[in-house]
Structure 1
Amino acid sequence: MKMNHNLYQLLLGITWKKLAIATPLLLVVPIATATAELEIAQTTPNANVSSGQNVIVAGQETDYTLGAGDQIRLDIFQVDEYSGEYPVNVDGTISLPLVGAVNVEGLTLKQTEEAVSKQYSVYLKRPIVNAGLVAPRPLKIGVSGEVDNPGAYEFQLTPTTPDFPTVTDMIEQAGGITTLADVRNVQVNRTIQGRTTTFTSDLWSLLNNGQLSQDISLRDGDTIFLPTVEEINLAELERLSEASFGLQVDEPISVAVVGEIYSPGSLVVQPDQLATNNNQNNNGPKRDSLPPRLTQAIELAGGIKPTADVRAVEVRRETWDGKKKVMTVNLWDLFQSADADKDVILQEGDEITVSKAVALSDAELQQQAEFGRLSRDITVNVVGEVANPGAIQVKPNTPLNQAILAAGGFDKSRANQGEVELVRLNLDGTVEKREIDVDLASGANDENNPILKENDVVVVGRSGLAATSDAFRPAAAPLGILRLIFGF
């Protein structure tokens, strides 16, 4: 037990002072000999918690307090027959020679020294007591809120795992956070001698700035609560998916897709597996798979119908308390920006609704036409097998041929130069596609060189040889989004 005794001295930061002189017991002056690494924090009231409860910021942690199941050692100076190891009984007491039961439930080691010293002072003159933790009891910690597997968890401190678990340790054990977790305001509730204290931990600062003080060290009986975020930040979800305590993305999930979709219903979305060598030789977060995303679910459901409003795809997600949060996704914007962060990461139970576009009135159609005439320059996208794919600025009434030339012309070794596709977002949110037999020598005409409008997309496909040699991953680029919408 000597090894454990020394180990837990280090664990709790206990300093055992050695007295170099032998002084008669009756003449000894009492001194405080046990100090803890963490001091009890000064607390400030918080209006959001009930009376009798305090709120503490991360880093202001508390001493270890004793409870049933702990094994402690008491050394009473110059009274070896009363010194020894004592278990804390189920009623929170220790049974000592001569004085009997002493209640130490909820006491720190320093407070335990004082309590034992007081009991022995009836029989001894100024007794000096040193208390140390030999074997801590199993820690029981509750995790609730926005985690995958809320519940009570047990953690046993041993010589091989001597450190107290932290907030991120227990969140990871509970399956990681959900996409709705507010990681900036993680709450840790701790009861000390009947008084509840709430610590607030900002795990976003831990993740991005390395603030280790935010990863609070836990004690027996602590409860962790992850509240629901007010608004989901899609860019932050990508970062959280890489954290050890973050989104767990290695399991398939079940979602439902309904509305203007070719194969509506429930389906299972698998995470994309990464090649093993993708995560080697770097110091960043390691993961074997990528989280399931909205475009994957749409692809599995057969793609979106032309009558769909692609600007308002809704993802309904259930919070920890059964409420619903709705995210509205603009697939057209996702295509235009080619920003993967806008491709929503899905989680178990999501409901995806693709709404039908509302028909426009004659007045709205007239407004659309007037807007086109009043525009100075318009933005169109030329994507696929051209020299310089991407968004370009052209004058109103620019025909398709000129847009292709403005993008550097066809990639002669890869492009299908006989046919292109024109994709147009209508004012009502629907998308239409035309296949055009292109003729670069032709003048402007509606059949094979139509006039372009704002946000039109010209898709230059691959030749048969290039298509055969390529390994294309759907939704990996702007063309992938178009394939989801039209199934081509």
Structure 2
Amino acid sequence: MRRTELFFPRYAWRQPGATRGDERFRRASSLLCSLLLLLLSACSSISPKETAVSKTGESTFKSEPPKKVQAFATPERLKALDTQEAFEYRLGPGDMIGILVWRRPELSQEGILVSPDGFLTVPRIGNIQVLGLSVAEVKALVTSKLEFFYIEPEVTIRVQEFHNNKAFVLGRVSKPGVINFPGKGTLLEALALAGGIPDQNKDTSLTKCAIIRGNDTIIWIDLEDLLRNGNMALNAPVRNNDVIYIPESSDEMVYVLGEVQTPGAIQIRSGMTVLKAVMLAGGLNKNANAEKVFVVRQQTLKGDVIRVDLKKLLESGDFTQNFSLMANDIVYVSPGGMTKFNYAIEKIMPSLQMLNLGFSDLESLGVMERLRSKIWGQSGFINSSSSGATSTTTTTSP
């Protein structure tokens, strides 16, 4: 007898003289094969075929480089950048000048505006370039021009309106725009003149601002240290035409994945740490492994991974690993040892239930009785009583 005939003997198929039981056996055996094939096909998963990369290496899929991490300016660097020993106002477009020449009323004039290109129109002299000059330098220039016509003229220059001591405040302030300083400006003064930082989003973090000076200088200030900790050494001086930019923090996120109650993206808040991020994600769920929490930080295209033991943190109060998080950090909570096993059982149970139903049907059709008779030499059947108990009647042939 061939091996396949052990479970599916030849006489099971309809032959001349075959009984009705043989016919039912054949149909039930086919049903059993179909169920087994269906179960095996259900265990397969989708497996996409990877696209071959061109030899030239050109592709529309490119790795996004990490955002440049700004280094905050230290008090020593701010002091080195402030090269002006004493503040001296320099004339610019929009300033209003008054000129007074002693005993020469025809040369005296009030309300002379500096033109957008930096010229000043003076009686008897005409246009002179005063852009970037101090009041003393303008006085010396006008005096030297008038000496061609008068003997030792006494000239007084007075600035009536100052418009060239300004900065541009942009970003997260109440009144962004141009501000004018009455004297030597500072960062805190600029923020105050711009209406301060709005507090309607109190949960958002207050981390940094940039002072853009000229074409090649950017100074990043740690606002958290300046405003919350009162480190006045970071109150940087502001020069004319500086741009002060406070970025919005609403687009800075950390990502919490794995075995937490509500995984997803979390907006960075003040003092964001690993423990705070996990708690904002709803805390650990029952499947989490508190000893294996990982922080992934993208400093380069490869990134760094650091393991955090939250169990040790909570049991012994060891906060040395409660790291401060940065924008785009990933916090991953690993599953516990039994999680994968439980997951596999949950996925297998529906298949086992289907098999259970299939064997019950086969028993009712008499297939299992015939299999027991041919393989083990037993007869009888398994019947389920109304109370749910199972009774078995078997007889062994000699």
Q: Normalising to structure 2: TM-score of the pair?
A: 0.45
Bigger share in helix: 2
Q: Normalising to structure 1: TM-score of the pair?
A: 0.38
